[in-house]
Every structure is written in C-alpha cells, then in structure tokens.
Amino acid sequence: MDSTRNSGEMAIGMPESRSTKAKAAATTAATSKATHHPQAGWKRGVAIFDFIIRLCGIATALAATAIMGTTDQTLPFFTQFFQFQASYDDLPAFTFFVIANAIASGYLVLSLPFSIVGIVRPHVVGTRLLLLIFDTVMVALTTAAAASAAAIVYLAHNGNSNTNWLAICQQFDDFCQRISSAVVASFIAAVIFMFLVVLSAVALRRN
C-alpha cells in the first residue's frame, strides 16, 4: 500500500514539475521578445532618420557642386589686350572644391542602398560600420574643400594688402555671391556628414 501511494504521488508530481518548467520557459521567451522588439524599433527609427539625412546631404552637396561649377562672370568692358573674366577653374582651390563635393554627393547616392539595408535589418552591424568609416572620410574631404574655398572667398571679399591681393567682389559681385553660396552649402554638407557619423556611432554602441 505504501509503495503504491508513493508511486502515485511521484506520478502526480512529475507533470506538475514539467508544467512549471514549461511556464518558466514561456515567460522567459516572452520577456526576451518584449525587450527585443523595442530595441529593434529604435534601431529602425535611427536607420530611417539616417536615410532622410542622406537625402538632405545629397541635395546640399549637389547644390555646392552645381553652383561652384557653373560660376563664371565676364565684365561688360574690356581693353584691346585684356578681358576681365572670373571663373571657378581659375583657382585650384575652387577646382578641388567641385571635385570633392561631386565625390561626396556620388558617395551619398551609392550609400542609399546600404542605408535601406539598415532599415530592413536594423541589427546588421557590418553595413553600419562600413557607412561609419566612409562617412568619416567624407567629413574630412568636405571640410577640407569648404575651408580652402572659404579662404579664397574671404580674400575675394576683403583682399590682403600685405600680399597685394586686391578685393574683386566690388567688380565681380555675381561671381562672389555664387561662390559664397557654394561654400555655405558645402559646410552644411560637412555638418550633415558629422551628424551621420554620430548616428552610426550611437547605433553601433547600442548593439
């Protein structure tokens, strides 16, 4: 009788133990799933914002390239031997400016598919790390181009008496307005690249 009772108690206790383990496993899975989805949603939101910022960067870099690359002004008066003309390709700094911003805008266009991958698969680290590296390179390139062009713009507006560099913006006013606008657009593109670097770094840090 005692052995029969003990075996019955063991038979009753085993299903209860199994059901308890199953409930604990289900609770753990539900908890991990609940904590996983908000993080995935947050990363997807960062990726969507990254995509929008890249579109803005394309617009500003292309604007800087187009404005500077089409800047050319010829004064309505000339002499027998001279024609007063100012063009962006007269100065190597402006030529470098056009090339650098064209490279930056082309890179941003090519980076859009990688940004879309970040939206579809927000936990992928490789594409985010690749974008972080190239965005950092573009920060250096656009900043260098904008800074070198800004120095020439400053001299065009104010001149330099120590080096006998005369201010030309009183005569070439349209030329100076266009190159100033291009430099501003390039600095905006550089700031956008800096923001993209920060976004990628934050996304990688939260992995």
pLDDT, residue 206, reads 61
Q: Which residues 6+ apart lie within 8 Å of 68 measured at CB?
A: 88, 94, 97, 98, 101, 149, 178, 179, 182
Q: How confident is the model at residue 44 (pLDDT cuts 50, 70, 90)?
A: confident
pLDDT digits (tens, 9 = 90+) for 57-71: 999 999 999 999 888
- Is the pLDDT at 207 greater than 70, yes or no? no
Weakest-pLDDT range from 16-30, 31-45, 129-143, 188-202: 16-30
Amino acid at residue number 184? V
pLDDT digits (tens, 9 = 90+) for 6-19: 444 444 444 444 55
Host H or E run for residue 67: helix 2-69
How far apart, in whole angstroms, are the C-alpha atoms of residue 182 and residue 140?
Answer: 17
pLDDT, residue 31, reads 42
pLDDT digits (tens, 9 = 90+) for 130-179: 999 999 999 999 999 999 999 988 888 888 777 767 777 777 778 888 88
Which residues make beta-bridge pairs with 86?
73
